[in-house]
Homo-oligomer: A and B are copies of this chain.
Amino acid sequence: MNAARRVEPLTGPVEDYLKAIYELERGSAVANTSEIAQRLEIAPASVSGMIKRLSDQGLLAYEPYKGVRLTGEGRRAALRTLRRHRVIEAYLSIALGYAWDRVHDEAEQLEHAASDELIDRMALAIGEPLVDPHGAPIPSREGTIDEREYHSLADVAAGYSARVVRVSDDDPRMLRYLAELSIIPGAEVTLVSREPFGGPITVSISEVETVIGPSLAAQVLVEPLPHADQPAY
């Protein structure tokens, strides 16, 4: 029963660190200094310093040279920021007509300035959506989040179909390209064929065939659709 209720609000940079660490942890259990540095576009030495402070503040567990993990408190703070970010993205898209490749950068700024009241009003105004415009799940006000893991389009076997659930959100050019191909959350995609040795993948979306590279396909998360044979992967 420690975790004295924080009085000082977290600064913008601190929120960014926690968010980055949360997402890196999901991929590999611990977040390394260099991964964090790369994601935040900051020198690794700066990350070492910040990590030490955050660990002193009880927001993360840190063993030098072995990476960091969020504590319960750090995780709550990260999810609070993630909720802000994704509610803002959804609001900008639904209520203000933003293009889906523009919402990320704007939300990146606003998430540090918006009050809880604002986030709640925004969420209410657009019907409390469960996902943001890229299909990423929005944490609840209470700090719970849908942590289901999905396969990517790169894992779908030839002849199988899948529904796009989520695409990676931070590269505007990629998002515009995906939108052109109608590869957006909710779309049904059938995998027509794949070339071996990491070659291109041919997919069909509403009767139109397109060829995409495997690294792009890896950024598109899908859920399997029913198929005569089993299993989908």
Report A's interface with B, CB cutoff 8 A.
Answer: 92, 95-98, 102, 105-106, 109-110, 112-115, 117-118, 121-122, 125
Contacts and interface: CB of A to CB of B under 8 A. Distances in A.
Q: Classify the interface of chain A: helix, strand, loop or mixed.
A: helix
Contacts of A122: 96
A93 B185 CA distance: 33
A109 B115 contact: yes
Nearest to A110: B113
Q: How many copies does the complex hold?
A: 2
A114 B109 contact: yes
A198 to B, nearest CB: 38
Contacts of A117: 98, 102, 106
B113 A96 contact: no
A113 B115 contact: no
B118 A113 contact: no
A109 B113 contact: yes
B92 A106 contact: no
A9 to B, nearest CB: 11
